[in-house]
Structure 1
């Protein structure tokens, strides 16, 4: 088989090169033509849609102005307050002169039309209370244009409403004027004639996604399109150009939004019709290119030197191998003239490239921290495995090359990353961010990003290092929480110490009061001792008088037995007995009064003991409030309470003894009165006759018995007095012990108050240092 010669190879190479060049030119020209045609078509679509929006907006604005003008006329206010005749006449003439309106209404605040006129001659509804224009004006709006397209009752045409409020002299809304604009007429005049090529047309969406106007298919009016995604995409776009497929055909569509009512005017055209013109021009260019290719190829074959092709092929193969990453490739072949220098320089270049790339790759592969490199176009150039693990990327790092940095780092291609900002500002940036991984793990990341440049100062990209500070941040939060807890505890301790100090001060005042009561009780006891001593002396005096009375009674008995001659002596003796009885009676009354005084003193002592018991109870309550610090004081308060109870018991026993003395004194006074009566009777008998001496003897014997009873009672009173004396001594001893206990309580309260103040000082020291962290990390 004959091998191809160099000339053939060069010819084929030149022809191929020319073919590629011409093909590229033709492709570029065809593409440019298609792009230009598409751009022109899109501009036409957008311009038409914008013009349609302007026409609709102008119509809406005219409707508002007309409604405003009508609402300002007094005749419509008259209709709303009960005189609709003039308004009705004006509406009839107004509608007759207007081709754009289907109906005009005057509606009151109850939703009823007080005056109306329509092209069909029939009312649009019995009540407008549920219509959107009524709700809008009733809620306080002065004017309102409905975005809802409605059909008339016959279903022949469509319309939209424009309303304006009618105000009374008091500025309150009395009703509204409503214009119903013929939507069919408007779209028929401006939308229906529009065509783009053979199949392009226009249509309009409302804000609910319904087709409210269509240039070709009227059956789609007020219905949802079969492909709802078209309306959804148009609503999301609002203004601009979009492409979509409809029934298998690729189309262009321009979208423009009508302000206020949010209608979307759409103009669509077939992409195939736009491309047809570009395809014809492309075919012409292909034919011309083929002729040019053959002519140029013939000239190059004649004049080109074949010997250049082989060295160039070797150099190309070598360069291709290096470009594919094979830095170990070897350049082979014979090179002459300029090609020899080119081959030598190429080998030097590859050697230098191997050195620098090896150094750079070694540095990057040796970085242990999470790291990524972003190019000037904000796309990923390189990422190591550590950053992929941190961001929970499961794919190999090299697969993310060319991906947007926002998508790689933040899972959102539209978000600007710290690397992007560093590229834009050309400065080193540091950020502290909260980052959530795809698995929901919350991290605290420190990011340091720096841009880097080539030797000519050209920005090559930015390199960022990510540091996971989650654990450190958690420790800082725990430390902060501990500091806040210590500060809160200090506040609570301060409040507790304040309450304890206050309770100690109040308890100290109560103990002072109890101490004063104990002192007063001691004084009363001393007075009681004195009274008891006086009572004892009186009882001894009563006993002595009773003894003397007994002797006198014996003498009277003896003298009575001696005879009537001694009657005078008996009368004297009886008189002495009477006097002694009177004295005894006075003495016993004094004794009763003194016993009453003792009872009063004992009542005071009982009250003091009750108050002491109450104060001791209060002291125990305050000590319980003080907690552990008041436990010692609670023991002292309990001892005080027990002493108070003992005082009350002793006072009760003394009171019972005094009651016995009082009863004995009362009995003695009764006996003395009987004795005095007997003496009086004896004196009367002596005066009458001495013959009554026998009776006198009997009476004297009775008096003797009574005197002996008095003596016995006096002895009993003396014994009771001794018991009272001992009880009073016990009360005095208890009062002294109470005073001592009050002193101990006062000292305990003083010590408690000092501890409370020390606690306050300690809490103040803690709170004073709360501005500094209690722990450091």
Structure 2
């Protein structure tokens, strides 16, 4: 025969509607929207990365053309032959015309000595020795063109700027390399135009890496420039990828990144964005559908609200209030008796359970309160949870026992949180341990205690903590020493008496 119950009412009216609505929403969103939105955003990021890469190619071609043009000028050959007047004028004129894009230009000979050159601000570079620089060594080694691998930080108008060296060999009339021209373009001109503008969602951005993992461009955080970030796994993965993409986790969120590598410099253009923002369109559509489903569910819920309110909600609130009061230690709380169906049985079981808890907790608390010996209880983490007044008296302490709760056994007994104690050893070994301990109290009184540390387990045998009982033996041990001293004196007296007796007997003979 069908039995009327809360579960039958809830299952019949709510389960089918909720399952069908949620299943339809999840299926539609996951199959038709999420994947499509993510793929579209991935394509957009890939296209932007490729565009930035092409921009870098055009930018570097322009720089190569400029340094090549300067290196081909006859004035450069004349300067390397000894007459640097025209070369100096050409370089200054060039810098004046390109002061917003070039930090400096210089001409050096095969020994690495700067023959002519200056910065865009007018500071002369002539006479400096650049023989240890990589671009000089490359030209000295016969390389016609030196492409940069790293960026340099320079002073520009009282602030810091980033540049890089690109050098072209200067050849003499016979075709032999006699020196080189080096330009220092301002790197920000490229990053402003290509790396800074792209945005993907609210927090997606572009950045660039040198071949060694150093940040050489960042659209959001300039403080990361020239910092090596290979400590991060996703940076190491990006360095391994020539051209491709990857997913990675950043601070608890999943991100997607596209990587493109410049073949000449090894620099990598990267575009990174949060997956949740790339799929925001799909999320919004899912939310709309969830709203429609929620409205349908609300209609069904409204039809059964009255029944649920009387049969479930109100009883559960009363049970919740009752159990919350018990959890807070109010064992005088009373649970009402007007429940129906399963709630009536549940309420009865809770009353029985609480009664049993009150009996067992009362018994346990009564045992602890009635303990006339110094004792303390420590939990499984070696933290004090109970200390009776007898323990405080035995240790000659006048502070509040409850103020010591939470301290380790070493911290409470000796003022050293990490100190090894018999209690900690009993916790670790999960067995009862006894030991006689000499202890100096808070009043600097030396005492002797018999310490017993007994593990406490729950009904399933799981370790709950340790009960530490300290029985004072100071007077007993003092009495023992006194008796031993007296026995020693008696023994010595007896020995002396025997000696005298023996002497008298000898004399009488």
What TM-score does the superposition give when structure 1 sets the normalisation length? 0.35
- 1:113-124 to structure 2, matched below 5 A, reads 113-123=114-124
* Structure 2 CA distance for partners of 1:14 and 1:210, relative to 1, 3 Å: closer
Choose from 216, 240, 245 the match for 2:249.
245
| 1:86 aligned onto 2:86 | yes
> CA–CA distance in 1 between the matches of 2:231 and 2:28?
36
* Structure 2 CA distance for partners of 1:97 and 1:33, relative to 1, 3 Å: same
| 1:75 aligned onto 2:75 | yes
1:15 deviation in Å?
8.2
- 1:213-362 to structure 2, matched below 5 A, reads 213-225=217-229, 227-288=231-292
> CA–CA distance in 2 between the matches of 1:286 and 1:249?
23
| 1:129 aligned onto 2:128 | no
Query: CA contact under 8 A between 2:105 and 2:181: conserved in structure 1?
Result: yes
- 1:301-700 to structure 2, matched below 5 A, reads none
Q: Deviations over 1:714-739 (max 9, x none)?
A: xxxxxxxxxxxxxxxxxxxxxxxxxx
| Structure 1 unaligned spans of 5+ | 296-777
* Structure 2 CA distance for partners of 1:123 and 1:26, relative to 1, 3 Å: farther
> CA–CA distance in 2 between the matches of 1:160 and 1:255?
22
1:64 deviation in Å?
1.0
> CA–CA distance in 1 between the matches of 2:267 and 2:235?
11
* Structure 2 CA distance for partners of 1:123 and 1:259, relative to 1, 3 Å: farther
Q: Deviations over 1:582-628 (max 9, x none)?
A: xxxxxxxxxxxxxxxxxxxxxxxxxxxxxxxxxxxxxxxxxxxxxxx
Choose from 139, 142, 149 the match for 1:140.
142
> CA–CA distance in 2 between the matches of 1:57 and 1:139?
26
> CA–CA distance in 2 between the matches of 1:47 and 1:204?
16
1:76 deviation in Å?
0.8
1:215 deviation in Å?
1.0
Query: CA contact under 8 A between 2:206 and 2:272: conserved in structure 1?
Result: yes
1:94 deviation in Å?
0.9
Query: CA contact under 8 A between 1:109 and 1:138: conserved in structure 2?
Result: yes
Q: Deviations over 1:256-280 (max 9, x none)?
A: 1122101111111122323443232
1:62 deviation in Å?
0.9
Q: Deviations over 1:625-663 (max 9, x none)?
A: xxxxxxxxxxxxxxxxxxxxxxxxxxxxxxxxxxxxxxx
Partner of 1:207: 211
Query: CA contact under 8 A between 1:57 and 1:259: conserved in structure 2?
Result: no
Query: CA contact under 8 A between 1:104 and 1:180: conserved in structure 2?
Result: yes
Partner of 1:685: none
Partner of 1:156: 160
1:136 deviation in Å?
1.4
Partner of 1:27: 26
Q: Secondary structure at the match of 1:157?
A: strand
> CA–CA distance in 2 between the matches of 1:246 and 1:12?
45
1:170 deviation in Å?
1.5
Partner of 1:100: 101
Q: Deviations over 1:552-609 (max 9, x none)?
A: xxxxxxxxxxxxxxxxxxxxxxxxxxxxxxxxxxxxxxxxxxxxxxxxxxxxxxxxxx
Q: Deviations over 1:336-376 (max 9, x none)?
A: xxxxxxxxxxxxxxxxxxxxxxxxxxxxxxxxxxxxxxxxx
> CA–CA distance in 2 between the matches of 1:283 and 1:151?
49
> CA–CA distance in 2 between the matches of 1:148 and 1:14?
65
| Structure 2 unaligned spans of 5+ | 300-509
- 1:736-775 to structure 2, matched below 5 A, reads none
What TM-score does the superposition give when structure 2 sets the normalisation length? 0.52
Query: CA contact under 8 A between 1:146 and 1:161: conserved in structure 2?
Result: yes
> CA–CA distance in 2 between the matches of 1:118 and 1:51?
31
